[in-house]
A = this chain, B = another copy of it.
Amino acid sequence: MGKVLVFGHKNPDTDSITSAISYAYLKKQIGMDAEAVRLGSISGETAFALGQFGFEAPRLIEKAADEAQQVILVDHNEKQQSVDDLDDVQVIEVVDHHRIANFQTADPLYYRAEPVGCTATILKKLYKEHDVEIPKEIAGLMLSAIISDSLLFKSPTFTEEDRKAAEELAVIAEVDAESYGLDMLKAGADLSGKSLEELVTLDAKEFTIGDAKIEIAQVNAIEVNDVLERQVELEVLLNSIIEEKDLQLFLFVVTDILNNDSTVIALGQAADRACAAFNVGLTDNRGVFKGVVSRKKQIVPILTEALK
């Protein structure tokens, strides 16, 4: 068996990057020639976590098949979120916490998905099942992933299993989860150096609901007004994307990581109907979703119902 590449999804978040590193480490301990790689740029938040625990960013790849026959997917399974030449390699394992869709194999594989808030929470179990000790630095990365996916333990995706894992990992990593976590989120929420294009694409996902195509981009911020000040230019950019992709809705979500509200800019013909589903009226294309932080759990299901 040759080298096995381990990677998370495109537009990688902290869970995708750190889970690739954490799982590749575990697989190496149990005898596999595994290497963590990544499919996209590192965010400021992820860079902060890597730096804090002494890791370099994994190597960037665009294709897998020219250097490996087998791969392991972490934090995703849908083909369109994975490496472009996924069909040319064998997926031998998946460790994930998302729904399963657009995923198919020719052979049996190891597939481990659990409905928890973060891939790292599942990886922590796998270390235990294989009786491999989690090094302090890896524990720090895994904790960072849970903090990131749960917005410091506040997202409704955050489960009791995530909480237990985070507590144990904080002890191993010897950090105070709350203060370290806030510093890490702040590093990701520093949007000052970001271009408008970066803001709009950093964490954007397209969804199809019935016949409607919509896109939802989300950024975390400490100073929401830093983003909203640029609303006029932002709208020009969002409208051009709407036209180009023929979207019914572009929802640009700025989440305040301190008070856990989200300010949205909603454009497209379904904008008013979409926001009405949250009992929010738009003023100047803008509204506030109180207590909403999770695209997956608090936004997509309501839009799916409202627009179908």
Residues of A whose CB lies within 8 Å of any CB of B are: 97-115, 129, 296-297, 300-301, 304-305
**Selected contact of A112 from candidates B102, B105, B111, B297, CB within 8 Å:** B111
Query: Looking across the interface, which residue of chain B has its beta carbon closest to that of A300?
Result: B106
Docked pose: A297 CA to B300 CA in angstroms: 38
Q: Which residues from chain B contact A99 at a C-beta distance below 8 Å?
A: 104-109
CB neighbours (8 Å) of A304 from chain B are: 106
Partner of A113, one of B108, B115, B305: B108
| A111 surroundings in chain B (CB, below 8 A) | 100, 111-114
Given contacts A100-B111, A107-B115, 16 further A-B contacts (CB under 8 A): A98-B108, A99-B104, A99-B106, A99-B107, A99-B109, A100-B103, A100-B104, A102-B104, A103-B103, A106-B305, A107-B301, A108-B113, A108-B296, A108-B297, A109-B113, A110-B113
A74 → B minimal CB distance (Å): 14
Closest 8 A-B residue pairs measured CB to CB?
A111-B113, A108-B115, A106-B304, A101-B104, A99-B105, A100-B105, A110-B114, A99-B108
A109 to B111, CA, bound (A): 12
Specify the chain B residue showing the minimal Cβ separation from A98.
B108
* Residue of B whose beta carbon sits closest to that of A114: B110
By a CB distance below 8 angstroms, the chain B residues around A297 are 108
For A98, A109, A300, A304, which residue has the most chain B Cβ atoms within 10 angstroms?
A: A109
Chain B contacts of A107 at CB under 8 A? 99, 115, 301
Nearest-neighbor residue (CB-CB) of A208 within chain B? B104
A215 to chain B, nearest CB (A): 18
A176 CB, nearest partner CB in chain B, Å: 29
Q: Chain B residues with Cβ under 8 A from A98's Cβ?
A: 108
Tell me which residues across on chain B come within 8 A of A100, comparing CB atoms.
100, 103-105, 109, 111
Chain B min CB distance to A148 (Å): 17
